[in-house]
Structure 1
């Protein structure tokens, strides 16, 4: 329960040795009493997140042992008392989210130990004092969402330990000081929503540790300096709502931003481009045909945009291309590249698009291909046998298409394959025995197809397989006991097939197996005694028994089985007796007829004599 009331009755003088005082996240209101200055030994003071009002008492300057001061998230008003500059040991100073106004007192330049200072979300105005450049220990400066004006002082370039600089949502004008590029420790820089002009300083290319650079909603002009390509740690770049011009430089990554519009035709002028990363933006339209000019490009990432058009029209001869990710866009048409133009291509991902047509057999001419992902498209036809020539392939993902025909035997030649997903297609016939050659396979999903016949026993060779999904097919006969040799198996889904017979008891030795789904088959008999089968999905198998909720006990199953066996024996014995009697009757008739014929012959001979 939160404390409430005022601090005016608090007997500050009764605690001359108090070192820490934390009254944050309560409902204290009223003013901060001047008597707080009597706590001369205080090192930690937190009155944040209350409803305190009034001004900050100048007596706060008497707390010369204070290291941490939180007055944030209150309703304090008035100006910042210059006496705060007497807190020579202060390390954290948080006055943010109040109603403070006026300028920052120059006395704060004396706080040589200050590391974190938060004055954001107030109504402070005027310019930033030059003396703040003396705070060599400063790692965080947040003056955002105030009314500061004037230019950003050059003295901030002296803050060599500064990691976070937030000056956004103010009225700063002038150009961005190039000396900010000297702040080698800077991780986050946000100067957005001001009135800054000029170009982005070339010196920003020195900020190699920068993860966020936000300069949007200013009046910046000129082109992006190519040296920004040195910002390898950058994960967020905001440059929108400016007056920037020129082409995208060859060495910059623009992934995970808010870039929109089309990729400019002028990108084809970057003939020395090695890396183009514009993933996770809002880009639209087709890839410009000028992209064919990028003969030096090695890696292209345009995934997770709204790009459209026929995917093959933008590409030409790219002898150095090793990585191409076009997934999660609106590309259409066939993937009828001249695959001989991509001799070094190792990764090709075009999943979640509107690709149609068939898989071109020529794709087998990409000997270095390691990842091929064509999933979630509208690809038809058969899987070409030429894929069996991709001997370096370790991931083949073709699920969620309309592929038909059988699974080619030649896929068994992909001995480096670790991940194979052909699920949700129209594949039929039997699963080829050559699948047992994929000794490195760790993931196999053939579910939601029309595979028939039986589960191949050659699966036992896949000793590294951790997930096997053969569900929603027409597989029949028994579950082969050889499957128990797959000691790495963790997940097994065989549901919605026509499997029959008993479940092999050897499953009890598969200790890594944790998830099993054998529902909706025709299995019978006792389930294996293992934790995986106790939690397994087994509905739709009326013949199963075991000590699991929802199944009959195997004792009842055995009694019924024995009664059935007795009935079978009686029927068989009765049938046997009937057969013997029938044989005897036929024999008797034959013998009687034979004797009658012989007697007749004797009678005739007698008459003739």
Structure 2
């Protein structure tokens, strides 16, 4: 055959030159084939060359590739019956590592090359262009880099190209447009640029075009409208602008269409229903589209997924959804709807015919009016109903009790009035009920206690009255119970204090509750925050409260409590916020409070008496308040309290001659002691420093000098250096002979902003306290041995380093699994929630990133580095508000245009951090440029392709099929949180309280797998 090709050309003298050229191309494409009479040798050598470049074969799939077997019997190899030549190489998902051999180009009879879902590195060999018979090229989900070879155009029979989830760069070669048989092109999740070429429109047989999550830029070419066989079209997160060509909407075979997360403008064609009658999946979310949702879309009777949220659609929703019986998800959230017409919400009536509906998301749409009764006649498959952040008013229809499978009911931030319908008790699958910030009145229905699966009940900021039903004690899985800011009265049912599942918060503040705290409070052993403030509660604090050892915040202020602080409080060593002010407490202030890690304590306006301790929080005037206790004495001198009477009385009882004798004796003793010990005084001082055994880190370093820090860090040795940044260096130090470690952060005062960073961090640590915040032991403001200013902070040492180390350091061999990651996210989110919603004033961290998240012995995460922190509503640190705002990649976009720091900025940083942990990609990686970001990378994977972007360490491939499905759902839910937190619009980002809950739900699912 080799010799016949040039003969054909030479004997075609009377044929056209075009045919000669074709013959020559075919000849050139085959010259790499062996000249052996038997092509078997060629195939054998090509396959063995491929095997030689494999560095890891965990499943031993290539163990059969040896000369003792014919290659047609090798694993993953299929041959043609006639010529016994290799026609298929299929090694998909075998865990192979290595690079691709160029000798694969010698498999001249190859029809299919399937090497997807492995770890191949390097470039795609140009020699693959010699495979003229190749129909399927599947190299997806590897680590291939470089460009897409232009000479793939030589594979003239190619029907499918699958190169997604690699690291390919450059553009889509124009030469691919020569592949006239191509029907499937998938190159999503790469680093491609250069726009979408108009020449691709020449591939008239195209059926699936998937190029999402690249950095193409440009617009969608009108020429793609030539694809009359097009069924699926995915260009989400490609930094595209302009409008969607009308010609694309004329592809009547189109079933799935996604342009999510670009800067697409324009509107949806009015006649879309007749233009795309086969549409199943329609995703426009995250663009700048305007206009109305055309009523004709109701003719898309096969539509299952409609997501047009996060745009600027407006006007009245006048769609008759009755014909769209297969709808599963309707997401219209964050748009500008609103017609001011009385029947604005009437479209919900037609949704009752959608028997498959699982999600109805209409949040933040500017809808107003009454919620129709038909809301209760939606699909019995409905799982999520989100109507929050609108202007809905009137009563919540009692028909809502028909939605028996709803797990999330989100109606917060509206203007609902009337009572909570008792029918809500029928929703046995409810896990989250969010009705806060409305104008609901009347009692909490007793039937709500039937919701045994509830994890979060939020009824705050309404006008609810009457007693708290004891039936709430049935919430055996509850994590957060917030009934604050209402008009509730009566005693607190003891059943509430028996909810041992409560871990986040029990908030009953700002009501008119009376009675005492029952001893059952001791069951709340896992609770983080207890807030009973601003009520009429009385009696003594039960000693059983001391059993709640997970508490970090206790707020009992503005009540009628009396008696002493019980000795059992000594067990609450995790408490960092304690407010007992404005009560009738009496007795002495317990000395054991000196040993606590308290960052804030308010004992003002009680009847405490006796001596004020002087250590721990009592040594910090800004963290400790005692006003209105007129019988206190002692304490630090700057408190201005009188000396304690007991000491004065004792002195008056001594006769004058006894005083003279004692004073004389003391003077003589001091002189003699000084003469005897003068020579040894320095040695004695040194030894005393070494052997001093104090009970806590606070006691050791209440006052620390430059020399002491110089000593514990071995002279700030490079061997002890564990981190370095723009403002500081961090050293590990040994405190004593027991090898107790601390971290010493030394400020680089010569760098601009370092001094302000020091002041900001010191101020932050005076105001915040939480178990997931890195604990500061003390600060040092001194001079060094050269007389220069020296400032340092001493922290508890985190032996497992930073989250950044676990993600990107080669020194750490193991990686975090998914369960560990979720726990870390919960730790961080809980700390942020505390800073934003439970601190007075609110604290904005300003620099959340993996390097500022430190891990202790138990892999519990602690948020550190408050050098850029800001206090909202105060004058504190106003002078640095116009300076550095966070770190590139983690700082929200609004900071880059001069906006002030806000809590929404922290939420953005948390979202980026979460996505980095889940995907293993830094937000500043080279692939993220020209509008393509980590946020967009993750967003376009939702909801069906999340598994493609997840860092492999997060996935346990040994799960059962059922667990694998749950795992994928958990992964998708986690990515959704990260995407929702990192939206460009600050007001559209997910509330951090919701984040904590959603993460806890994911954790519960994982733990039950």
Corresponding residue to 2:320 among 246, 250, 255: 246
Corresponding residue number in structure 2 for 1:293: 377
Corresponding residue number in structure 1 for 2:470: 385
User: Matches of 2:464 and 2:513 in 1, distance apart?
Assistant: 13
Does the 8 Å contact 1:453/1:474 carry over to 2?
Answer: yes
After TM superposition, give the deviation of residue 252 of structure 1 in Å.
Answer: 1.9
Corresponding residue number in structure 2 for 1:476: 562
Q: Secondary structure at the match of 1:212?
A: coil
After TM superposition, give the deviation of residue 332 of structure 1 in Å.
Answer: 1.0
Does the 8 Å contact 2:464/2:488 carry over to 1?
Answer: yes
Residue 639 of structure 2 is aligned to residue 551 of structure 1: yes
Corresponding residue number in structure 1 for 2:436: 351
Does the 8 Å contact 2:198/2:223 carry over to 1?
Answer: no
Does the 8 Å contact 1:181/1:207 carry over to 2?
Answer: no
Residue 296 of structure 2 is aligned to residue 222 of structure 1: yes
Corresponding residue number in structure 2 for 1:279: 363
User: Matches of 2:469 and 2:260 in 1, distance apart?
Assistant: 50
Corresponding residue number in structure 2 for 1:421: 507
Deviations 1:551-581 (A, max 9, x none): 136xx523x43335678999xxxxxxxxxxx
Residue 380 of structure 2 is aligned to residue 262 of structure 1: no
Deviations 1:503-538 (A, max 9, x none): 211122223x32222223233422351147624241
Corresponding residue number in structure 1 for 2:590: 504
User: Matches of 2:540 and 2:653 in 1, distance apart?
Assistant: 29
Q: 1:198 to 1:301 in 2, by over 3 A?
A: same
Q: 1:319 to 1:115 in 2, by over 3 A?
A: closer
User: Matches of 1:174 and 1:333 in 2, distance apart?
Assistant: 51
Higher strand content, 1 or 2? 1
After TM superposition, give the deviation of residue 274 of structure 1 in Å.
Answer: 2.1
Deviations 1:399-443 (A, max 9, x none): 101111111223233222222110000011222121112222222
Does the 8 Å contact 2:242/2:265 carry over to 1?
Answer: yes
Does the 8 Å contact 2:317/2:337 carry over to 1?
Answer: no
Q: Secondary structure at the match of 2:601?
A: strand
Corresponding residue number in structure 2 for 1:20: none
After TM superposition, give the deviation of residue 302 of structure 1 in Å.
Answer: 1.3
After TM superposition, give the deviation of residue 448 of structure 1 in Å.
Answer: 0.5
Does the 8 Å contact 1:366/1:390 carry over to 2?
Answer: yes
Does the 8 Å contact 1:421/1:446 carry over to 2?
Answer: yes
Residue 399 of structure 2 is aligned to residue 325 of structure 1: no
Corresponding residue to 2:528 among 442, 450, 467: 442
User: Matches of 2:647 and 2:317 in 1, distance apart?
Assistant: 88
Q: Secondary structure at the match of 2:402?
A: coil
Q: 1:243 to 1:206 in 2, by over 3 A?
A: closer
After TM superposition, give the deviation of residue 289 of structure 1 in Å.
Answer: 1.0
Residue 249 of structure 2 is aligned to residue 176 of structure 1: yes
Deviations 1:96-115 (A, max 9, x none): xxxxxxxxxx9xx99xx995
Does the 8 Å contact 2:233/2:258 carry over to 1?
Answer: no
Does the 8 Å contact 2:400/2:423 carry over to 1?
Answer: no
Q: 1:549 to 1:335 in 2, by over 3 A?
A: farther
Q: Secondary structure at the match of 2:444?
A: coil
User: Matches of 2:286 and 2:546 in 1, distance apart?
Assistant: 51
Corresponding residue number in structure 2 for 1:462: 548
TM-score, length-normalised on structure 1? 0.62
Question: RMSD of the alignment, in Å?
Answer: 4.5
User: Matches of 2:413 and 2:293 in 1, distance apart?
Assistant: 34
User: Matches of 1:519 and 1:217 in 2, distance apart?
Assistant: 58
After TM superposition, give the deviation of residue 130 of structure 1 in Å.
Answer: 5.1
User: Matches of 1:491 and 1:226 in 2, distance apart?
Assistant: 57
User: Matches of 2:518 and 2:191 in 1, distance apart?
Assistant: 70
Matches within 5 A, 1:77-88: none
Q: 1:179 to 1:567 in 2, by over 3 A?
A: farther
User: Matches of 1:504 and 1:518 in 2, distance apart?
Assistant: 12
User: Matches of 2:432 and 2:198 in 1, distance apart?
Assistant: 54
Corresponding residue to 1:453 among 539, 545, 561: 539
Does the 8 Å contact 2:352/2:378 carry over to 1?
Answer: yes
Does the 8 Å contact 1:114/1:137 carry over to 2?
Answer: no
Deviations 1:577-605 (A, max 9, x none): xxxxxxxxxxxxxxxxxxxxxxxxxxxxx
Q: Secondary structure at the match of 1:362?
A: helix
Corresponding residue to 2:608 among 523, 526, 530: 523
Corresponding residue number in structure 2 for 1:580: none
Q: Secondary structure at the match of 1:387?
A: helix
User: Matches of 2:423 and 2:397 in 1, distance apart?
Assistant: 9
Residue 558 of structure 2 is aligned to residue 485 of structure 1: no
Does the 8 Å contact 1:271/1:295 carry over to 2?
Answer: yes
Unaligned runs of 5+ in 2: 1-146, 148-168, 179-189, 204-208, 339-343, 656-1009
After TM superposition, give the deviation of residue 237 of structure 1 in Å.
Answer: 4.4
After TM superposition, give the deviation of residue 333 of structure 1 in Å.
Answer: 0.9
User: Matches of 2:654 and 2:277 in 1, distance apart?
Assistant: 96
Does the 8 Å contact 1:442/1:466 carry over to 2?
Answer: yes
Does the 8 Å contact 1:379/1:401 carry over to 2?
Answer: yes
User: Matches of 2:295 and 2:378 in 1, distance apart?
Assistant: 27
Corresponding residue number in structure 1 for 2:65: none
Corresponding residue number in structure 2 for 1:591: none
User: Matches of 2:374 and 2:211 in 1, distance apart?
Assistant: 50
Deviations 1:473-531 (A, max 9, x none): 122222223212012222211122222222211122223x3222222323342235114
Corresponding residue number in structure 1 for 2:271: 198
User: Matches of 1:327 and 1:340 in 2, distance apart?
Assistant: 18
Q: 1:205 to 1:339 in 2, by over 3 A?
A: closer
Q: 1:548 to 1:115 in 2, by over 3 A?
A: farther
Residue 516 of structure 2 is aligned to residue 430 of structure 1: yes
User: Matches of 1:195 and 1:406 in 2, distance apart?
Assistant: 57
User: Matches of 2:293 and 2:549 in 1, distance apart?
Assistant: 62
Deviations 1:205-258 (A, max 9, x none): 5688x75255423896621657765478x7624544699733284422223333
Q: 1:346 to 1:131 in 2, by over 3 A?
A: closer
Higher helix content, 1 or 2? 2
Structure index of larger Rg: 1
Does the 8 Å contact 2:225/2:247 carry over to 1?
Answer: no
After TM superposition, give the deviation of residue 198 of structure 1 in Å.
Answer: 3.4
Does the 8 Å contact 2:198/2:221 carry over to 1?
Answer: no
After TM superposition, give the deviation of residue 358 of structure 1 in Å.
Answer: 1.0
User: Matches of 1:323 and 1:252 in 2, distance apart?
Assistant: 15
Deviations 1:339-359 (A, max 9, x none): 552232232221111111112
